[in-house]
A = this chain, B = another copy of it.
Amino acid sequence: MEWEHRLTGRAKRLVPSVISEMMRLAAGKGVVSFTAGQPSADLYPTDELVAALGESLRGFPEGLAYPHPLGDDKLRGWIASWLIREEIAPARTEASRILLTTGSQQGLSMLAQLFIEPGSRILVEDPSYPEALLTFGREGAEFVPVPIEADGPDIAALERALRSGPFAFFYTIPSFQNPTGYTTSTEKKRAVLGLAAKYGVPIVEDEPYYFLRYEGAPPETYLALSGGEGVLYLGSFSKIVAPGIRCGFMVLPPELADRASMLRVTLEIGLPAFLQRGLAILFDSPFFPSHLARLRRAYGARRDGLVQAVDEHLVPLGFRSTIPQGGFFLWGRKKGIDAMPFTFRAVREFGVGVIPGSIFFVDEHAGKEWLRLSFASVSPEDSKEGCRRLAEAFGKDP
């Protein structure tokens, strides 16, 4: 049977993920991989997870039944209190507005299904997270790029874009953005909120890295600044527990929580409640704050290691980058390279994996001189060796 002509437009718009492909190549033996937004396996709280899941499975038999479409009550309640306590969400944010997701990627996918039809226009930071763009693109979105600067979106460019007509939403990653590591300032957030209200455009605030800050104080979130009005917030436990637990969440306006709940029933009925309850048990223990502190120390040291290795090996060759205050990524530019072929050669011939900057831009011809280096799973020693190899690859680049 021939299948291709039976597929929907949506299915035909699907394309492979370059990051996945590059991660596979960089998983080879002896390769130093700066590719993944993957947390480091040695930092997974495995023993605590085993204990918490055991407790959940034994003490909470309903966790093995068909789940509620919004997710486990107890974890949703914990998240609501936590977001309020951390001043991420406005006081009185109710658990009924929290939806648990299979990682925040599922939040992005659900928002795409709720808001994007073929031809819908979306404002996106440029560059931005490619898997989000793949997901919005799947539903037929057209992207209007807003250049991002070290302190957040270019406000003048945002306003020019907003004047050009209706948008489904503005997608932003305010903290330690993927791929740039940039953080949007409170001042810029106020300006963006003002424009979003003026032009009636919702903000999709994606914050997977928020808790991985190595210096400075966090700016206020869009969600808190707006009082929750017009902001759809996405959070994730992938980076602060483990990506394999596949658990994230959304904070939605009440009207949308109902709609998302009906969507969830058709997507998969619901998600594993015993797993979500296990996480609630983990988060409620004194272990969790000390675990977060440990992550910040470990990733902070890796960031410092990479920054030092870059200074030593790459800066002398003209590589220029900024130092991220948190998250996993260092974003840098090497004049004269063509990132896509360069990175494939670097991994194959020099044993060092980095992500080509070009895949993060709306215009596929942009970003040719940019590279994204993740330090998440790279020790300072490996960073040194990786940057040495990268320098070699730069040197041999024709």
Q: CB within 8 Å of B: which residues of A?
A: 1, 3-4, 6-11, 14-17, 20, 36, 38, 41, 44, 46, 49-50, 53-54, 57-58, 61-67, 69, 101-103, 105-106, 109, 112-117, 120, 131, 134-135, 138-139, 168, 200, 202, 229-230, 238, 242-246, 253, 255-256, 259, 262-263, 265-275
Cα distance A164–B129 in the bound complex, in angstroms: 45
Asked if A3 and B58 make an inter-chain contact with CB atoms under 8 angstroms apart, the answer reads: no
Which of the listed residues A1, A44, A116, A168 has the most CB atoms from chain B within 10 Å of its own CB?
A1
Contact A265 B134 (CB under 8 A): yes
Q: Using CB atoms, name the residue of chain B closest to A7.
A: B114
Q: A244-B66, A246-B271, A275-B272 are in contact. Are A109 and B266 (CB under 8 A)?
A: yes
Q: In the assembled complex, how far is the CB of residue A53 from the closest CB belonging to chain B, in whole angstroms? A: 6
The complex places the Cα of A256 from the Cα of B17 at a distance, in Å, of 17
Q: How far is the CB of A221 from chain B (nearest CB, A)?
A: 17
Cα A377 to Cα B44 with chains together (Å): 38
- Report chain B residues within 8 Å CB of A138: 263, 266
Q: Are B272 and A14 in contact (CB under 8 A)?
A: no
Residues on B with beta carbons closer than 8 Å to the beta carbon of A50: 53-54, 57-58
For residue A38, which residues in chain B have a CB less than 8 angstroms away from its CB?
Answer: 65-66
- Alpha-carbon distance A38/B64, docked complex (angstroms): 10
Say whether B54 contacts A268, CB under 8 Å.
no
Decide: A3 near B256, CB < 8 A? Known: A131-B269, A267-B106.
Answer: yes
Chain B's closest residue to A254 (CB) is: B3
**Are A46 and B64 interface neighbours, CB within 8 A?**
yes
Kindly state the separation between the CA atoms of A253 and B4 in the bound complex, as whole angstroms. Answer: 12
Q: Are B14 and A262 in contact (CB under 8 A)?
A: yes
A49 to chain B, nearest CB (A): 6
Q: Which B-chain residue is minimally distant from A69 (CB atoms)?
A: B20
Residue of B whose beta carbon sits closest to that of A200: B1
**Which of A8, A17, A106 gathers the greatest number of chain B CB atoms within 10 Å?**
A8
Q: How far is the CA of A266 from the CA of B243 in the complex (A)?
A: 15
Q: Which residue of B lies closest to A66 (CB)?
A: B243
A20 B265 Cβ-Cβ under 8 A: yes
Question: B residues within 8 A CB of A113?
Answer: 8, 10-11
Measured CA separation A139–B69 after assembly (Å): 19
Asked whether B263 lies within 8 Å of A11 as measured between CB atoms, the reply is: yes
Most buried by B among A14, A38, A168: A14
Shortest CB-to-CB span from A394 to chain B, Å, is 29
